[in-house]
Every structure is written in C-alpha cells, then in structure tokens.
Amino acid sequence: MRSFIAIDITSEVRSVAEDVISKLKKMGFKASWVSPENLHLTLFFLGEIDKEKVELLAEKFHRRLIGFPSFSFNVNEFGFFRFKHLPRVFFLKVEQSKILQTLYLEMRSEMKKLRISFDDKGNFVPHITLGRLKYSPENWEELVKDIDVPKMVVPVDKVIIYSSTLTPSGPIYKWMYRVKFEGGLDKNE
C-alpha cells in the first residue's frame, strides 16, 4: 500500500490554504490542487510498503515517542519550489524549529533501523503542499509576491501514518495509526 507519515493541521490553516488556492486559480495558475481535507505536513513519504511493516513501524514509533513533548509550529508564509524558471510546487511555509527537527530525526532513525525506505532528500524542509503546478502565467513571480499568509500556530501531540489510494478524482487518504506522544497508539480498523 502507498503510505506516508504526517502531522495534521488546524482548521484555520485549512481555511487560509483554501483562500490562497482560490487566489492562485483566479490568477490563472493551473495545478493538481490539494483538497482541504488532504492538507497536512508530510514528515516522510514511504511509497509502497507492506501492511505488516507499517504495523511494526507504528509499534516502534509508539515506543520511541512516548514522552516526546507536545509542541507547536508556526505557519507564516507562502512559498514555492521552482524548477529552472518556473514554480513546480506551491506551499505554506512551516517555520523550522529544533523540536520539529528532533521529531523528524527520531523517526528517521527508527526507520533506518528497520531498513524501511523512504523519500530521503537529506534536507527536511517542512511545508504544507497546496498544489503541483501544470501551468503558470508568464508574470507568475510578480503575481505571487503579494500573497499574504497570517501567522498561525499548529499544536502537535501525535504523528499519523496514512494510506494513500490514488483515484482519477485525486488521492484518498485514510489514517491507519495515530502515535500519541503521551503514550497511546490508535489503530483504524
């Protein structure tokens, strides 16, 4: 099954993301836009992985993250990744913090021990993807420079392992495991 590990976001962030996507559409950008219910902060994309390995990973995370302190991160800007001179991905920027980086490294270490492969570019750039671009107007940089995003705080007390089923109308995400920092592992039967 296709799966990934993520942190959920708040309804406020979803609402702001919807507004930003709406503005981008009106400006003429065409993209595979992420639907509001699918917005999240991806920690790791695992790709195709056996259900048993996902279960083992959830158990290992459960043991490793017990007592990890709850924290929050800030979402405070609009951004993009570019390829050559064009934007490839639009996103909301997540302010990097030491505790978010520590969480990422703890989980990364556990996955390496289990020899679970994941999309590892070596540099964790936390962000909330809004869309993958298919077309951009010529003056795109001028258009996006005025997109304003208010500072928002997202509380974090768990990580979630999702399955991702691709359909013609877009991916369907379903949570499989919720690993809570206070202890506790919820399984979606």
Active site residues: 40, 127
Query: How far, in Å, CA of 154 to CA of 15, rounded?
Result: 13
Q: What are phi and psi of 134, to 5 degrees?
A: -115, -30
Q: What are phi and psi of 67, to 5 degrees?
A: 90, -5
- Residues in CB range of 175: below 8 A, 6 or more apart: 160, 161, 162, 188
Query: How far, in Å, CA of 79 to CA of 128, rounded?
Result: 10
How many CB atoms neighbour CB 134 within 10 A? 10
Strands 127-135 and 30-33 come out as antiparallel
- Residues in CB range of 1: below 8 A, 6 or more apart: 48, 49, 50, 51, 54, 163
List, as one string, the DSSP characters of 125-166. Answer: --EEEEEEEEE--TTHHHHHTT-----EEEEESEEEEEEEE-
